[in-house]
Structure 1
Amino acid sequence: MITLVFFIATAFCLGTVDHGPTLLLRAIAKIDVETMEQLLTGTAPAIHPQTSNVEPVFVDNTDGMEKWKITPFFYAAFTNKADVLCLLRAHGANVNWRDEQGFTAVHAAAFKGAAEALSVLLSFNEVNLTAADADGLTPLLRACQGRTDDHLAAVRTLLQSGRASVDERDAQGRTCSQLLEPTAASTPGVTRGHPGMRAVLAEATARRNMARAAAEAAARRGLAEPDI
């Protein structure tokens, strides 16, 4: 099971060695576009006086952090650096790269409630929104269990995109609404997820049902019409 403790313990442990991958993540953290471009194109100034011919940093390198192997694109999504994602994609970043827990950048943004990053990620047609992580959860199923306003915004962003569905299920066949139901291990009186999450999911379900009903009605009218 992936836990919040894992992410807190590893998310911001950038490498201490001044080498390309770590410098790239530092530039992302500061949204320093000029430095990012220099590192990715091999035009950055030499790190040490005796160093020359600085090699470009591989856009999908995973050596920038001490304990967590993630790509710069993944890091930008996780830290909600929405403005950086397009730049990294333009340099060939793999938008569907997975970490050892099966998380993609979309999972990371959904887990953190990074709605701005999610909006950008959803604009990329190649992003896979139905991929399941090691726990069998899609990005939507991850986000719906969050308790903050940011998680609520992330769920709205995913559902309003039309690319995520309230019908998505985890490895045990549970939907978002079912994941929010109390379990035997739940603390009495403590709501699972954000208090407004059920209402957002109910609205999405109602929209889905209306769309289905309209499509079925249109299909029936089509079948009833005489051949011309």
Structure 2
Amino acid sequence: MISRWIRLCVLCALLPLLLAMRPVDEKLLIAARDGNLTQIKTLFDEGANVQAANEQGTTALHAAAWNGHRDVVTLLLRKAAPVNHATSDGATPLYIAAQNGHSAVAALLLNNGAAVNQATNIGVTPLFIAAQNGHREIAALLLQHKADANHVAEDGVTPLFMAAQKGHHGVIELLLQQGAAVNLTLPDGSTPLFVAAQHGHVATVSLLVDAGSVVNQTMTDGATPLLVAAQNGHLDVARLLLEKGALVNQSVQNGVTPLHVAAQNGHREIVVLLLKQGAAINQKARNHATPLLLATQNDHRDVVALLLTQGALVNQPAPDGATPLHIAVAAGHRDMVALLLKKGADVNARTADGKTPLHVGAYQGNLEIVKLLLKQGGKKRAKTLSGERPIDIARQQSHRVLFPLLKP
């Protein structure tokens, strides 16, 4: 949904250092990392350069900011450390402090000229990383210093997307108070609500909807937040979206509905919820797949049993004539085959080319399934349109164990 989440690890371990750095500057970087104020003062007396950087662009100020050494940062700034110097990734000391939750260091940097909206190479600002990591205090500090709540990164995300993906409620409240665009879309059409629904953050979903997020917003493929929640098995989110007006039968471009994806992924409780809300149980997708067929294909027996008790058509065929029983046999799901037969599946149903489930079983060579089909009345003499009997297919596939059973 979101092309890539920002996971900058900026410091690059500080070592190995650029070989061209003087030993005294290397020591300064390490001392700043470790918070060794006494050694830093000694190194300055020995001529250490506060602006020296390693091959990743990391300065002593970056190193001190990474570990939250406020006293070291204070000294380095007094020595004219470059407050907005960026690493090779484009990260400033402020970005690093925001990433690691060091609010005191972030405040110090901001009060000494740190650029609050300076972005990394992929367009993310300190507010992005604070939002992603749930650092509410730092997010508030950045916003007080005029951080742009609607800054857009290269891939289209904003700080609100980052906070919504992680479910950081407090940060989201701050962003919304500062005018974060709740319905801004990514290139795929998703909004922060989709991200929250995808990850199951029910409190975030509620907050976004109350702030004006469009409940039935569609992505470019037609997916809705409800479909995303159903697909990922987030029952509470699905329930909340339905309470807020989500359309239970709204489908994507290929005709798949929330019930299709819930059944396909075996989310029984969501199937129950959707059916109670009026989901069309025998709705066909564009490829004619029904929720029952998808649940059968993926061996979700509890969902299949539920659908059948609620009115799903056990013998509803696909365009090629295959019924759920054909699908179960082809997939080798013996217990599913037994369930479908118990619920009235036609053991001799034919596909468009004349194959019965027994033909399919003969092709697959599953002894237990073939026995079951025969016990339930599967016809050994049934012929396909090309004149093949189940035993003919078994012979073609060299399934010798089936020969005695299928012999007419």
TM-score band, normalised by the shorter chain?
0.5 to 0.7
Counterpart in the other structure of 2:138: 84
Q: CA deviation at 1:60?
A: 0.9
Counterpart in the other structure of 2:237: 197
Counterpart in the other structure of 2:194: 141
Give the one of 176, 179, 183 matched to 2:228: 179
Counterpart in the other structure of 2:165: 111
Tell whether 2:174 aligns with 1:132. no
Question: Could you list the runs of 5+ residues in structure 2 that have no partner in the other structure?
Answer: 13-57, 63-82, 84-90, 247-408
Indicate the RMSD between aligned Cα atoms, in angstroms.
Answer: 2.4
| Residue 68 to residue 193, structure 1, CA distance change in 2 (3 Å) | farther
Tell whether 2:102 aligns with 1:32. yes
Counterpart in the other structure of 2:212: 163
Contact 1:31–1:81 (Cα < 8 Å) also in 2: yes
Alignment-mate amino acid for residue 115 of structure 2: F
Q: CA deviation at 1:127?
A: 1.3
Cα distance in 2 for partners of 1:129, 1:175 equals 16
Contact 1:11–1:68 (Cα < 8 Å) also in 2: no
Contact 1:107–1:142 (Cα < 8 Å) also in 2: yes
Q: CA deviation at 1:99?
A: 1.1
Counterpart in the other structure of 2:2: 2
Structure 2 SS opposite 1:86: helix
Q: Which runs of 4+ in 1 moved over 6 A?
A: none
Alignment-mate amino acid for residue 213 of structure 2: A
Counterpart in the other structure of 1:212: none
Larger-gyration structure (1/2) = 2
Structure 1 SS opposite 2:134: coil
Contact 1:146–1:193 (Cα < 8 Å) also in 2: no
| Residue 101 to residue 30, structure 1, CA distance change in 2 (3 Å) | closer
Cα distance in 1 for partners of 2:196, 2:111 equals 35
Counterpart in the other structure of 2:117: 60
Structure 2 SS opposite 1:127: coil
Question: Could you list the runs of 5+ residues in structure 1 that have no partner in the other structure?
Answer: 43-55, 183-191, 207-228
Identity %: 28
Aligned pairs for 1:10-21 within 5 A: 10-16=6-12, 17-18=58-59, 19=62, 20=83, 21=91
Give the one of 79, 96, 120 matched to 2:174: 120
Which moved further from structure 2: 15-24 or 107-116? 15-24
Structure 2 SS opposite 1:74: helix
Once the two structures are superposed, residues 76-125 of structure 1 have per-residue CA deviations (whole angstroms, 9 ceiling, x without a partner) of 1111112222211121211101111100111111122222211221222x
Cα distance in 1 for partners of 2:226, 2:184 equals 19
Counterpart in the other structure of 2:156: 102
Q: CA deviation at 1:68?
A: 4.6
Q: CA deviation at 1:26?
A: 3.1
Cα distance in 2 for partners of 1:34, 1:198 equals 40
Q: CA deviation at 1:73?
A: 0.8
| Residue 108 to residue 177, structure 1, CA distance change in 2 (3 Å) | same
Aligned residues: 172
* TM-score (norm. length: structure 2): 0.39
| Residue 62 to residue 73, structure 1, CA distance change in 2 (3 Å) | same
Between 1 and 2, higher relative CO (CA 8 Å, sep ≥ 6) is seen in: 1
Counterpart in the other structure of 1:211: none
Alignment-mate amino acid for residue 91 of structure 1: H
Cα distance in 1 for partners of 2:211, 2:110 equals 34
Cα distance in 1 for partners of 2:2, 2:215 equals 22
Contact 1:130–1:164 (Cα < 8 Å) also in 2: yes
